[in-house]
Chain A
Amino acid sequence: MLTKEQAADIFDRIRRFSSADEVEAIFTGSRFALTRFANNVIHQNVEDENSVVSIRTNFQGKTARATANQFDEESLRRAVAASENLARVQAPDPELLPMPTADEANSGNTFADKRVRATRFFDETAAITPADRAEVVRRIVSVADRNEMTTAGIYSSSESQEGIFNSRGLANWHHQTLAEISITMLADESSGWQKLNSPDVSNLDATRLAETAAQKAVESAHPREIAPGKYTVILEPAAALDIVGFMFWDYSGVAILDQRSFLNDRIGTQLFGENINISDDAAHPLQAGSPFDGEGMQRQRVQLVENGVVKRVVYARATAQKMRNSEYAGKAGLIEPTGHGFPLPNEVGEMPLNIVFGAPEKRQSVAEMIASTGRGVLVTRLWYIREIDPYEKIMTGMTRDGTFLVENGKVQCGVRNFRFNQSLISMLSNVEAMSAPVRACGEESFDMVVPAMKVNEFNFTEVTKF
């Protein structure tokens, strides 16, 4: 992978090759390895290393991007020329801003505290070998063998970097590691699942995850079919994450300007229950990722929802300027660049990607939620979630890998999986209890810091065959 110094040298060459008014280069690179297992054997085992430079040129209101993964002179010249050719033929956009200076981009440096930076890169994670991963998989398989189950899953590790340079003097660089384990345990008629990731591999206990997944498969054996309908559900953190993640695309200034957000005409209103507090905070100790956005701007902490009231959305630089001059400015909350933009040019603007749910006043563990439930459904994982209605934010999807009937304060049995059609607005207005927020990861949405949630009136509409 490239060092920051090597990237800076490449950027100097790119600047020399370009005749544009302004030039920006985003460098991304990773060494990524993943060991995949199924049927109690390793069946796929991969590693790749790649570095990419993405070059943006500006000519008086015209901008475009070209990307390459080779750094010889011919490849760089070709990428610069492609970016310039794409830019030059466009009509000028009067709202295109100059690239940010280093001072503008780095004001309010969210990672200035070295304790935050220290939560992102771990030598032990970067040093994981194929043999290390095989040993961890062997331990997971031994749990499966002990329970007479088959197991499938992954153990991945990566070291990655992200850097942005521009011709106005910006030079930001980020380096991080990530290790991830996902385990499915399959019994004859049931299954269980667990997944966790962290920049620090020492936070991952593969055996414990495997045993929890196996326990879920044991407890959901011989699943009963119960009728669909409205139930009290207890969503474990991964399930809560996967469904709520679909609404954050709408917490964007561009989504409001485009009138495609479910927050159109709703910012400042009591949309959710008073117990819902949500912020975006890249510097949170349980978060991962880069401190700067696609223009190099520092990601600021933004309180999106306070006591159930949607307070504001996030903004890239240009979006904030457009919003101030738009007919929606009076109903958009506080308008200022927040450091959440995607690399330019793009049509979606920005999005909060480091979501942190606020801790409830009275925390309840999942066990306590179960104990306080007369009749309900405990959900481990949700799957294949898609949007049905963009304004009421109705989502459909399935439960998967550990769905249980709770009666009289106890898990009674596994049940066949349900299809839900559920409004997120309604769901977050019906959260009866929450656990302490934890770092969680699913498959349908991005990682976030989120609690388990006990939700009333959750709408299951159909039941499947298993």
Chain B
Amino acid sequence: MKTVARQALDTASVRGVTYADARVVAIRNRSLTTKNGRVGHASESESLGIGVRVIAEGAWGFAASADLSRVAVEAAARRAIEIAKASARVKREDVRMAPEPAATAEWTTPYKVDPFATSVEQNLDLLLEVDAEMRAVGGVTLAEAGMNFQREESWFLSSEGSDIHQTKYSTGAGYTAYAFAGSEIQKRSYPNSFGGQWQNRGYELIEEMKLVENARRVAEEAVALHHADQCPEGTYTIILDGSQLGLQIHESIGHPIELDRVLGMEANFAGTSFLTLEKLGNLRYGSELVNVVADARQEHGPGLGTFAYDEEGVAAQSTPIITDGRFTGYLSSRETAHTIGAARSGGTLRAEGWNRLPMIRMTNVSILPGEKPLSLEQLIAATDDGIYMETNKSWSIDDKRYNFQFGCEIAWEIKHGKRVRMLKNPSYSGITTEFWNAMDAICSRDEWALWGTPNCGKGQPQQVVGTGHGASPARFRNIRVGSAYS
């Protein structure tokens, strides 16, 4: 595959081209679902191709081909140059790339069990066992479970001499029990909603998730929600579980810190950001307990945003995003680094596959756990009056990332340090910085987990990539609750 990438670079080595890179990517995927005791779908897929990115006449061009014959690869490289020259017809200044030393590297996601070495029978048996547990609960009207594996092998070569070979594995699984009765559909999911938990690991993740052990409880909660009281509307102290806090981070920190959004590059689709450049180092984003990093390194954990090098050959890094509540960093690329006075890219350029242009994406954007020992049960015990919410049900935020509203699957009212009653249809809303400044407690490391968001969409054409979000449960004061049903 390196030979194929070199052919593209050789073709792009012509006058007027100041930079070129080529990525050959081979992706294999297995996707299995079950529904109400039967296989929902069973599929495998493979995709192989090359993407060629060039700067010619000071502007970008990108072309991709699934045909890896020499003729087709050279044609793709020539097409990228033609496209770059067309881009140059509508430019104001030449693209500026932050310097980056050439890298030669081999890297593979650490894993214990290759998920593709497990049998389909084993995978389906597990899902069907979970399914049976859920349907054993009276009142469950729909049980869905799913499991996904992906292996992505890439060869990145650049005109500056980089030669990087990476193989990334990701694994995910989860399930949902639905209960329809009267005029209401309720659901509960485990270990998270919208596909479950995902990490860059092998099959050992599936084995550790205790999928079967939790299925009956989750199904019982779905049915019990029909008899729960409606979550009240008003201003409350709330506690969010780690998975919901992970999505809160994704939407109200991860997206607004993307420097391409800040610079207006996503204004037509994903939107812009309230985090304009003068706020760097100056904005109080949250309370002093809020410490957030964007960390793609393996030592942060096996998140969906973990790698050795990003897709323009920049080594994985940890960037302080919020430090003791103060806004301290953006997600950046070689092209955008100079706009914040950085000498080097933050290493966050990622793409969905071989036929998509890499763009700034979240890596693992995580809130650091509290330093003092604090479990979720201790946090609840220390809360006199509040609402504990668990597992995301809906999420929405405006295109500058100020106003958000989240719904959760289930909640419990807390009185005098105890959960006193289940609440259905909980939701909360607010303004990003007001919300993060209202955080007054966060649980410690033993409650912290690195959650995976496998479905983050951005860009035109839209690309879907996975991101990681480490979080532990946290408490927020004076939060607006219940407006979703007002």
- A residues sitting closer than 8 Å to B (CB atoms) are 32-52, 54, 64-70, 75, 78-79, 82-83, 85-87, 89-91, 93, 129-131, 133-135, 137-138, 141, 150, 152-154, 156, 182-184, 186, 191, 193, 258-260, 264, 345-347, 383-392, 394, 396-398, 400-401, 417, 419, 421, 443, 459, 461-466
Contact = CB atoms under 8 A, between A and B. Distances in A.
A67 B268 contact: no
Contacts of B65: 48-50
A156 B180 contact: no
Interface string B65-79: 111000000000001
Contact of A388 (B59, B178, B485): B485
Contacts of A52: 47
A389 B91 CA distance: 46
A384 B396 contact: yes
B265 A389 contact: no
A464 B403 contact: yes
Interface in B424-450: 425, 427, 429, 431
B107 interface: no
Interface in B398-431: 398-400, 402-403, 405, 407, 425, 427, 429, 431
A182 B268 CA distance: 7
Given A41-B91, A46-B62, A134 B43 contact: no
B90 A37 contact: yes
Contact of B42 (A54, A86, A421, A462): A86
Nearest to B429: A462
A75 B119 CA distance: 21
B483 A421 contact: yes
A64 B43 contact: yes
Contacts of A35: 86-87
Given A130-B83, A150-B267, A464-B403, 6 more contacts: A42-B59, A45-B61, A184-B267, A258-B178, A260-B185, A398-B398
A50 B46 contact: no
B400 A466 contact: yes
A85 B268 CA distance: 44
17 contacts: A34-B460, A40-B90, A42-B90, A43-B265, A45-B59, A45-B86, A47-B79, A86-B120, A129-B86, A134-B86, A150-B267, A259-B180, A260-B141, A346-B41, A384-B396, A388-B393, A389-B425
Contact of A66 (B33, B43, B405): B43
B39 interface: yes
Interface string B455-486: 00000110000000000000000000001111
A68 B484 CA distance: 43
Interface of B: 33, 35-36, 38-49, 51, 59-67, 79, 82-87, 89-92, 119-121, 124, 141-142, 144, 178, 180, 183-185, 263-269, 271, 274, 355-357, 359, 393-400, 402-403, 405, 407, 425, 427, 429, 431, 460-461, 483-486
B399 A67 contact: no
Contact of B64 (A49, A65, A387, A465): A49
Contacts of B356: 46, 48
Contact of A41 (B47, B61, B90, B121): B90
Q: What 9 pairs across the A-B complex have the smallest Cβ distances?
A: A347-B40, A130-B86, A464-B403, A67-B45, A48-B64, A152-B267, A48-B355, A259-B180, A64-B42
A37 to B, nearest CB: 7
A45 B63 CA distance: 9
Given A75-B46, A184-B267, A346-B41, A131 B429 contact: no
A383 B460 contact: no
B337 to A, nearest CB: 15
